[in-house]
Structure 1
Amino acid sequence: MNNPVSSTTEQEALLDEIIATSLQAQKQTGPDLRQIHSKSHGLLWGEFIIEPHLPEDLRIGLFKTPQTYPVWIRFSNGGAPQKRGTFNSDSQPDVRGIAIKVINVDGQKVLDDEEKTQDFILNNYPIFLTKDVRDYADLGKAGTGQLTPERMEELTYAFAILQKIASKKIGNPLLIQYWSMAPFKFGDKFVKFSVKPQQPEQPPETVPESENYLRESIVKYLTLEGQEASFDFLIQFYVDDEKTPIENHVQEWQEADSPFIKVATVRIPSQKFDFEERKRLDEGMLFSPWHTLLEHEPVGSVNLSRKRLYSELAQYRREQIAQRLREPQPYTVIQDQPL
């Protein structure tokens, strides 16, 4: 068995490795695109409505006062660009994500780059891909021949999780459940988050062949049919290390051990969003679980790794955009042509 990451120094070294690999890939496939969750299905506006009459122990941080906040919500595929200028088809297996940016949030934040936002990032699977940061770093090398047969064997569980995620068929991102995968503070307690659609879909037997069918399904639902979508925003409390572990990121917190509790509603009105100005806004926006009030600070090693990873990749992306505007370079220098 591989040993857990034994020190902060070792974890930082692993994170350096992940960031270096991600930056290199980002340089090749599109410097001003996200390296993860790069393909967007839409950036939507909506409302984050805190539940009225919450009991005192749930009136924490963002949920302290019943009110309605404006939000931006981004739906995406989890993978990186296939190559420069090309995304994978939506019909290919992938993680599907939702990122929620709550606006006009007062209070002390963990990071100071956004003063009045609270972000939540969730995927359509309740657990993370790997147990720890080391396995996550090595998972990225699995197809390169750099790992020993023994190490590949140790990562079998992660391949099995990827297979389960890949087997999920989705018709409309507005109608499926998402989970935070990793835990967060809730005052002096710990929770995981989930958003569950109020009108869940029946998983389709087959998915459309269109490369962008997930965006098209949202356009059809919100714009052409004029419907609105709503999610219940739920929390699950930590119980103990056996049933709801903080550091074992591949063990699901079972609802039987820790029931979901509704603390808010996410409402997405019918709207038009499939136009160029919205897409530019989408590309410039940064979502991070570390854009948060202190009361909801991320916990656990995977969340800790996301703090630097998200920040440094976003900084690189924004620097690339600024540099292209400030001093254009020839295409041979910036490799700005299809691979």
Structure 2
Amino acid sequence: MSEGTTSYLPFSPALEKAAPDEHVIFDELSRTMQHITRTMASHYRHAYRPVHAKSHGVLVGMLEVPPDLPEPLAQGLFAKAGAHPVILRFSTNPGDLLADNVSSPRGLAVKVLKVEGEKLPNHVGNDTQDFVCVNANAFSAPDPKGFLEQIKLFDRTLAVSEGVKHAVSVSARATNAVLKAVHLPSATLEGIGAPATHILGESFSTVAPLRYGNYVAKIGFAPSSESLKKLTGESVDLGADYNALQELIEIFFRHRSAVWDVRVQLALAEDPKLDEKDKDFPIEKADVAWPEEKSPWQTVGRMTVTQQRSYSDARQLFVDEQMSFSPWHGLAAHQPLGGIMRARLKAYEEAKKFRAQRNARVIAEPKSIDEIPA
């Protein structure tokens, strides 16, 4: 599909179709996340994030935007060529600190620094842009109600022993392998039975859409350097160590560098009369993976991380205790879109406030990667 024949979806506030009672769901979602955080704070005598509590690596690097991107790609952060410092945090999904052999979706949060331009209302006065990603191309729930049910499930299973969770994830991993062999992968099992592969070989995306300047897109990060590509799909022994993923990242960056492609998948214009359930590129149905054969991922930048110590105690404490990541930290040109994204605004902000209060920490946006300990 050539640029000249592609009709990308123009951004308009009218694209979002908020349910009339969704604020009630947002309130309950925030309360449930607070309960997870408070429960874990009581258990660990310390407050952690209600989701993606366990980090595995903290890295600093540079994101480079090339010159002469075509107009549909030259939007927002990517409208102007240049280089931006970045901070990366690798994590897994749950709000409790499980052994890494308990399968779970993996996360990558990227904080871009020195970002100029109009910010979202809750981010005025800051110069950062966050991209909060998981290793998937669609969210695990379609809407805020489904998201709430998932968070409630996390909450209900906090008391389940780690041994039981490990046994369930191993069983799910085997079942999902069988389903994939007959081309019937299960989205549910993917969440608890993901294969034990190297985290640095994964591709990550925002899974839910956001504004991309004049258009709408999902943003992602995919292995670009051969050092990362050869890790894609590589089986690893996650039972070797409680913090096996941390160890994998540490071993890699002791001697090597890595490059990721920064990519966008632009939504295509569709018949506005179509229901969300019938669209290929829905805004309010986040569990739909947009078809890559119709709108492939396109590279808009490169993110480079050089050899470094990825998980010193000081570095881990700084990023986990004094920083936060949210889709709502960023440019107005990258406004999060859809119910899943709207649901995160209050929940994430309230969780951040509780962590700061419980741990007696000040959580703020960094001005320079020099603030990140070695």
Q: Is the 8 A contact 1:169 1:207 kept in 2?
A: no
Measured in 2, the distance between the counterparts of 1:70 and 1:204 equals: 29
Q: Is the 8 A contact 2:138 2:289 kept in 1?
A: yes
Quote the offset at 1:316 in angstroms: 1.1
Over 6 Å off, 4+ runs: none
Which residue in 1 is equivalent to 2:284? Answer: 247
Which residue in 2 is equivalent to 1:40? Answer: 55
Q: What letter matches 1:71 in structure 2?
A: V
Q: What letter matches 2:238 in structure 1?
A: P
Is residue 178 from structure 1 mapped to residue 204 from structure 2 by the alignment?
yes
1:137 aligns with one of 148, 160, 181: 148
1:289 aligns with one of 295, 313, 327: 327
Q: Is the 8 A contact 2:75 2:214 kept in 1?
A: no
Q: What letter matches 2:34 in structure 1?
A: L
Matches within 5 A, 1:22-171: 22-30=33-41, 31-81=46-96, 87-110=97-120, 111-112=122-123, 115-142=126-153, 160-171=186-197
Q: Is the 8 A contact 1:183 1:299 kept in 2?
A: yes
Identity of aligned residues (%): 26
Secondary structure at the aligned position of 2:299 is classed as: strand
Measured in 2, the distance between the counterparts of 1:205 and 1:276 equals: 28
Which residue in 1 is equivalent to 2:237? Answer: 207
Measured in 2, the distance between the counterparts of 1:114 and 1:268 equals: 27
Secondary structure at the aligned position of 1:57 is classed as: coil
Q: 1:206 to 1:245 in 2, by over 3 A?
A: same
Matches within 5 A, 1:243-322: 243-283=280-320, 284-322=322-360
Measured in 2, the distance between the counterparts of 1:288 and 1:257 equals: 29
Quote the offset at 1:141 in angstroms: 3.8
Q: Is the 8 A contact 1:171 1:214 kept in 2?
A: no
1:196 aligns with one of 219, 222, 227: 222
Q: Is the 8 A contact 1:174 1:229 kept in 2?
A: no
Secondary structure at the aligned position of 2:248 is classed as: helix
Measured in 1, the distance between the counterparts of 2:134 and 2:125 equals: 23
Measured in 1, the distance between the counterparts of 2:361 and 2:253 equals: 37
- Which stretch shows the higher mean deviation, 210-219 or 136-145? 136-145
Which residue in 2 is equivalent to 1:153? Answer: none
Deviations 1:247-278 (A, max 9, x none): 11111111101111100111111101321210
Measured in 2, the distance between the counterparts of 1:217 and 1:6 equals: 42
Quote the offset at 1:293 in angstroms: 0.7
Which residue in 2 is equivalent to 1:231? Answer: 260
Which residue in 2 is equivalent to 1:220? Answer: 251
TM-score, normalised via structure 1 length: 0.83
Measured in 2, the distance between the counterparts of 1:271 and 1:178 equals: 22
Unaligned runs of 5+ in 1: 82-86, 146-158, 325-339
Is residue 13 from structure 1 mapped to residue 24 from structure 2 by the alignment?
yes
Measured in 1, the distance between the counterparts of 2:124 and 2:349 equals: 10
Q: Number of paired residues?
A: 299
Deviations 1:165-218 (A, max 9, x none): 333324332221011110011112100111111132242445331111111000
